[in-house]
């Protein structure tokens, strides 16, 4: 598993960007990402974060004026986060209501 030290805001923007790219098949711009991430950040802040993620090799830009697309590493982080969430959800499925209430 790949592990990068991404803060919650970077992780959330990356997850939103990957989901948007999968859905639309187009590079994702900062304005779209700012409005679709649920974070209270400006497009300029999103551009700065996207630039940092690009330096880490998680995103790439197909050309100068385009938005960003996830790289193989970006997709890997996305899938790993889905798997981590699924494993966590499955680990709690064996609990019954009385067990949960007693925790």
Fold held by 8-102: Arc Repressor Mutant, subunit A (1.10.10)
Residue 11: burial class (beta carbons within 10 Å; 0-12, 13-18, 19+):
middle
pTM score > 0.95 for this model?
no
Mean pLDDT of 40-44: 92
Question: Which of 11-15, 35-39, 46-50 has the least mean pLDDT?
Answer: 35-39
Closest C-alpha to 69, from 84, 81, 57, 80: 57
| Beta-bridge partner residues of 70 | 59
Domain chopping of the chain, boundaries: 8-102
Give dist(CA 29, CA 69) in Å, integer: 9
């Amino acid at each position: 598993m790949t592990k990068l030290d991404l803060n919650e805001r970077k992780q959330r923007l990356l997850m939103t960007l990957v989901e948007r790219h999968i859905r639309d098949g187009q590079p994702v711009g900062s304005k779209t990402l700012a409005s679709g991430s649920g974070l209270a950040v400006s497009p300029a802040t999103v551009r700065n974060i996207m630039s940092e993620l690009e330096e880490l090799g998680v995103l790439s830009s197909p050309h100068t004026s385009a938005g960003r697309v996830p790289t193989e590493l970006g997709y890997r982080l996305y899938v790993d986060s889905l798997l981590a969430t699924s494993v966590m959800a499955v680990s709690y499925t064996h609990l019954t209501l009385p067990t949960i209430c007693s925790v």
